[in-house]
Structure 1
Amino acid sequence: MRLHRLTLTAFGPFGGTQTVDFDDLSTAGLFLLHGPTGAGKTSVLDAVCYALYGSVPGARQGGGQGTALRSDHAAPATRTEVTLDLTVAGRRLEVTRQPPWERPKKRGTGTTLDKAQTWLREYDPTAGAWKDLSRSHQEIGEEITQLLGMSREQFCQVVLLPQGDFARFLRADAEARGKLLGRLFDTRRFADVEKRLAERRRTTETQVRDGDAELLADAHRMQQAAGDAMELPDLAPGEPGLAEAVLGAAAVARSTAREQHTVAACTLAAAESAQAAAGRALDDVRERARLQRRFAEARERAARLEQGAEAYREAQALMERARKAEAVAPALDLRESSEAEHRRAAAAEARARALLPDTFAEAGAAGLAAAARRTAEELGGLDSARRAERRLAELLDERAGLDRQERADADLLQEAEAWLDDWEETRTALQTRVDTAQQAAALAEQLAERREPAQQRLRAARLRDQLAQDTDRAVERVRTAQEKTLRAKQHWLDLKEQRLNGIAAELAAHLTDGAPCAVCGATEHPDPARKVAGHVDREAEEHALTGYQRADEQRAEDERRLAVVREALAAATAEAGDGPAEQLAQEAVELEERYTQARSAAAGLHAAQERLRQAGQEYERRLAARQEAAVRTASRVGHRERLDRERAALEEELDRARGSLDSVAARAGQLERRTALLTDAADAARVAEDTAQRLKDADARLADAAFRAGFETPQAAAAALLDNAAHRELQRRLDAWQHEDAAVRAVLAEADTAAAAREPQADPESARRAADEADRRLRDAASAHDAAGRRCAELDRLSVRASASVRRLAPLREEYDRVARMAGLAAGTSADNERRMRLEAYVLAARLEQVAAAATVRLRRMSSGRYTLVHSDDRTGRGRSGLGLHVVDAWTGRERDTATLSGGETFFASLALALGLADVVTDEAGGVRLDTLFIDEGFGSLDDQTLDEVLDVLDSLRERDRSVGIVSHVADLRRRIHAQLEVVKGRSGSTLRQRGTG
């Protein structure tokens, strides 16, 4: 990468446009960048970094915002811009960047924010012109990063060599060096490998411990199943040998459980034999006791039968008399039923005759039947009269319907005529309502378009008033911040000037007898300067600088906020205008009221249109109804005349059929009732005559049946009869006595019962207690046998499960051992890692070894062959090794730590280290050639001879066609280096003055 031209506008301390011609400066290979403190030397390097990466290095970066990069001396209308012309990877490119900018508005007051812009162009040598490549920030950033092969941090470390950082690198511990090298060489992937191995180790360790915990849980279950007869191993989850110990203890427990199960089986067999013998003895005693009770109960029942023998014989006599009376029972039932039937028939005849006129009181059944036939014939002649009566009713209903229709049509015609007379007035009123609603709808639509703009203007006016107050407060804060910044800056500059005035005393404080002076190199110090009262040291100066920087940052933040508020105020003012918010609010309220009224009036448009349409339909309907009513009126005249003629004929016929009654129906009802009464009376008379004859026949049959059965009178036979309940009860008593007598005789005749009665009295309770005791012993033995069986089964199941767990955990335990060994090696905690070097440190150590080798080439020349940088793997104290850096002094032949170098030695050692690191990082980034380098301060600590040697080394870089820019205050360098770029500080901003080789 070679820089050709850099153009700055309103950047940092440069208020105007400044140009740097690196081609002219690089002709000599070595050029000097100098100027007073605060003039802007570092800003030139910042501009190079900003042009390439869109941000400035380290703590100076402000997020790429215009407020952090823009010059305070620039004119308000001048935009900040950086343009860099360079050659990289064989391509001539031009990068132009403009940060965000708060520019003044073209119209009105206030500012507006322009977005950041970036251009990338490439020079076409065949066409001899520049061509545009991209205007995208992202695309340009990716293109530059890919071509350079370095990130912004690597570029700032390699191209813009900060000597202070490398001086600290020489004195830093292994951890600090690891952070810097890891950032430059991007060894995060090796740290990720360490992290991944550690996570894998923790995961597998957790899995192994979980598996061992499950195995121990199964062992505890086996111990519980074995009745605490199993001894568990005194090992924790994860410890080796746990699986074998658990499986061995389980085998012992299973063997003991099987022996216990065999003993329990023998005990159970003996208990079963004893329980069977006790059961048989109990059954024998219970059977003998039952037979003895049966014999005693039979003797008691025989005695009770003997006492009831007389009652049995009396019951037998009653049963024999009742059997004889049963032969007379049918005749008795027939006579009783005949008598009851005759009484019912006589009563029915009396009731039927009571309903007849007195003329039929003496008539017999035949006379009543003849009268009923005559009345029925007269009733049949009234059918024609009934039809005529029904037709007359229909005629009357039809005539009444005609009258109702006539009245309804008359009302309809009257209403239709009245409505049609008002039709034109009604239609005009409805049409007027429709027109009015349509006009209101159009007005509401117009007002609706004006509502939102009015509300927006009102909101903008209120925001404008609020932002105006915020602007005043922001202006006051900016003014206060500017004053505070100026005071802090002046305070810092005063302290810096005081410290520079007393710097000799500060340098003298570090002088020791025999050691060379860092300024003059003398080893004798006869009169060192002394600190006076009020001496300002570095800490006080840095504290004042920090206060100034904080105040300046606060000022920039307040100015940014002021610009934002002003931009918002301008936008709100442009939208709201100059009208007061109260007036806009009143206009918005009036507009809202008019819109509400118009919308309310327009809401009835649809209803008015519907009313008009319905009124038109009603007009057509009433015209048609009036015409239909006139037609119906004409047709009703002839119909009414026909109905009147038919009515007169029917009324004449009905007068003849009704007689003295009001209607044919009444006459027919009278005849129907008389026919029914005569018929009922004739039937009742015939039934009464028949029942009287059957009663006489029943009396004769009863007397004959009683005589044949042996009873003197029918009444005696009736008294001997038993009803069903009494007969069943008497028969039950006889049967029960006979059955009981037979049962008692059978029991007393049983041989085993009689034999048992002759034996001694049985004792079932004693036999039962013996059997219960045998059952209890059997249950205990069975429970013990079952428990032993379950114990064996549970131990077998848990043993199988534990064996499966051990087999499942075996490969996982092997994986854990392997991963733990690899994680320990990578993390440097394993005993096999003798130097306790982490994987990332190992990789960085290799890089540091390359850097030390590259730096030694230049360090030997700078130190006249005295010093050599070497990498060391030795451990420091109890820490880890891998990132040690020592210097070998050829004069003494001893190797010592780089922290023991003096100030000047530290400078050229750090310079050699920086140049070596630049070579290694360049190779690491893909071999991108770096033709332009910048070296920061530190040359003031060198004596003349060492300075010549350092400049010779830097000048030798031209052998590789490189140009080196030195940033320094040392006055002697201005005489030694002819190509210079001077930064001149002025009240209106800094300017650049360039002097090339010519």
Structure 2
Amino acid sequence: MRLHRLTVSAFGPFAATQEIDFDALSRAGLFLLRGQTGAGKTSVLDAVCFALYGGVPGARQKPGVVLRSDHADPGTLTEVTLDLTVAGRRLEVTRSPAQQRPKKGRAGFTTVKAASALREYDARTGAWRALSRTHQEVGKEITELLGMSREQFCQVVLLPQGDFAQFLQADAEQRARLLGRLFDTRRFAAVEERLAELRRGAEARVRAGDERLYATAQRIAQAAGPEGAPPLPELRPGDPGLATAVLIWAAVARTVAAERRDIAERALTEAARRQRTARDALDAETELARLQQRFAETRKRADAVGEGRADRDLAQALLDADRRAERVQEALALRDTAARQDRGAADACAAARRPLPADLADAGAEALTAAERTVREELGALASARAAEAREAEISSERAELKRQLNADEEAVREAGSWLEGWEERQARLREAIEEAQAAATRAERLAGLREPARRRLAAARARDASAREAAEAETRALAAARAAATAHETWLDLRERRLRGMAAELAAALRPGAPCAVCGATEHPAPARPAAGHVDPAVEDAAQAAHRRAEEARRTADDACTRVREAHAVAAAEAGEAPVADLADELERLTREHEAARAAAARAHPAKEALDRAEREYRDRQDAKRQAERAVASRTSQREALDREQANLAAELSRARGASSTVAQRAADLEGRAALLAAAADAVRAADSAASRLKDAAARLADAAFRDGFDTPAAAAAALLDPPARRDLQQRIDAWQREAAVVAEHLAEHRADGAAARPPAETAAARAAHEAAEDALRAATTALAAAGERVTALAGLSALADAEARSLGPLRAAYDRVAGLAALTAGTSAQNERRMRLESYVLAARLEQVAAAATARLQHMSSGRYALVHTDARVGQRRSGLGLEVVDAWTGSARDTATLSGGETFFVSLALALGLADVVSDEAGGVRLDTLFIDEGFGTLDDQTLDEVLDVLDGLRDRDRSVGIVSHVADLRRRIPAQLEVVKGRQGSTVRLRTAPLD
């Protein structure tokens, strides 16, 4: 498929008619579709999809979405025309949606229906020939030629990168939905559904046979009587093994009925033994249920630990990056210090040069030093006189300063002595405050220990009162259920007795003239019995027996509920005692108030200790200050006397040096100032040079340090640094996860719970039923002997009937097992299907493997041979397998999940996946050539080298005579891709411009 020309009018953001020459763009092979946000780049792709399929891609295809441009003139109709070549045929598709246009010559609007038209270019005549003007025919023709639905076209021609990035990180079910839309796998789903229907039909037939067999078993149970046979098997119609269990049970019933006459004297002992066995089995099943429940709870915690592993790994990665960044932190600080010093030295150098004369303004450090040396040589002759004159002035200021310091030292001695006089009293007060706070902390710990038991007692008291009410209600319900069960039992026994009395009439009803009697074998029936008034038929007796069983089950349920409520009440009462809820609530409130007050008082311990530490430090400082001030007073007194002697000597020397002149100091001051300026400037120049050198070295060391620790730039290392709270938070999250994982591992390793979990689920209900049946058998053992003889004959006939029904059930169950096995295998629920793959998923996995192979060919080029995309059918946890993807890193030789890819890696991997999927889907569609492709945004996540490699792969598509359009905002692509289609937005709507040279 190759696009030639697209014309849009009043469509999306395009108000006027816009024409796009794809032939001009395609000649370059690779072209760029660019424009400002909202200009209408995506609308160009929408127009292509609308022309072909009458709808736009993805989320934009929603009810209420208007395709017509809001900028268009009311008289301009919305229309899209696409000129393309597909399957060797040159076609032109024109479509317009339903829209409003102004009425001709009148006010208001009229509705224009949606329209479609298809034309084909005849190369022999050079003219266009109309093919169809109906939506259905145009849509059918385009779909058959392309071999793709709209969803497939949007995936393999428009290549939306965001969808494939989500596809990389999706689970198996989400990938199955996308691949199912692209590859028509409905026939395999139909096979699964057909097998499921066959399984349900076979199951229904087996269940019907089981129900007949189970009904016969119920009749055997009825004939055997409650004491003539053990309880019916726990299996129900549809369960495997029901026929064998019923036949075994029937044989047991016959044996019991025959042997009851001989073992009646041992029946009570046997029944008591059975009762004890059932009690032990019930206890064992109850303990097994408790252990299995505990193991299930531990498994839930283990699942939660597994779900939190990703957060823990992310936190560990952040901590690792922070630790590596800490090794770079010192170099970073040195670089910042060097930068600040460099700026300061440069500013100081500029300031030092400002007062210099013009001939020295740009001089170097050596020239400035030479000039300074010259000035100082000139100053040397006046050095002695100048120094004497300066020293005389200094002595006057020194004497004044010395006097001020002497007064200050004497004042410091007096102040320190005053403060030290009240030290012991202040120290006692601070220690008393600390002791009070420590006592409050002890009291708070004691109250905290009392508060939790008080809270538990209060909760238990509330549960005690609530369970007392529930126990009364449960006892009432249990009593009512017991009465109902007794009434139902009496009704059933009465009906059964009445039916037995009229059994002769029931048998006589089946007699036919000439047919032998089922009882005596006679063919003549001179006086058959007639039903008496109130005769009970089998249906009425069966209904009464069923009602009796339901009532018994309701009684047992009510008794169990009553027992549970009583146990809960006993536990709560034992913990809460007899204290009222209000008293316990008041006690808890009092403890809470006292605990909060004690905590508040204890919180003052730390400030009190700090105050004492500060006071003790001040005490030591005051003592040191007093001693130093006393020494300073003595020293400064000696200094003042020395200055007096020196001043007298200098006065005599200056008198001799000046003679009659008074300009020595002035002359010396001028020369000194000039020398100082020169020296300062020379020092500033040397300092600036040194600071620049240090900055360069620090920057180089920082770059080396960042690279050694795995950071691309020093800024990346600085960004990886964490503040202490964030670092502690991450470490605490990791530690919490590890503690929970350790606890879960310890619980899972417990031998008893693990062993219980490996066993089948506990059948407490069955064990309880067996125990109750054993107790019933014990009570009824004394009356069973009388009814045993008459039951033997009835049991023989019913057992033969059950055997015949079990024989007819065998072929039905064999057929059901065969169909059910196939259905479970294709549905992915069979134990033989180790990877839990459905038939449809198996087919999609093969398609995904083809896509991964096609994508890898381009991915290896994009990543310089580093990455390969492989399909995996490994299971993840308990989820089904078959649609997994992994990235193989040739640098490390390891495979990792696609969800771990970075932003740039995700882009070019998803791009390779999209191109590979385009190849596979086009081949699946019959090998349709896709000569024009569009790739959506995502290039901004790539570095320069990877971008070059990706563009090289896309440019290589021209080997298959393809043209590729890139939709992107990346500015660098404007320079790299000469052929460009620019969408320019304006107040009157968007326009398109074709460029064939890159922009600067």
TM-score of the pair, normalised by structure 1: 0.46
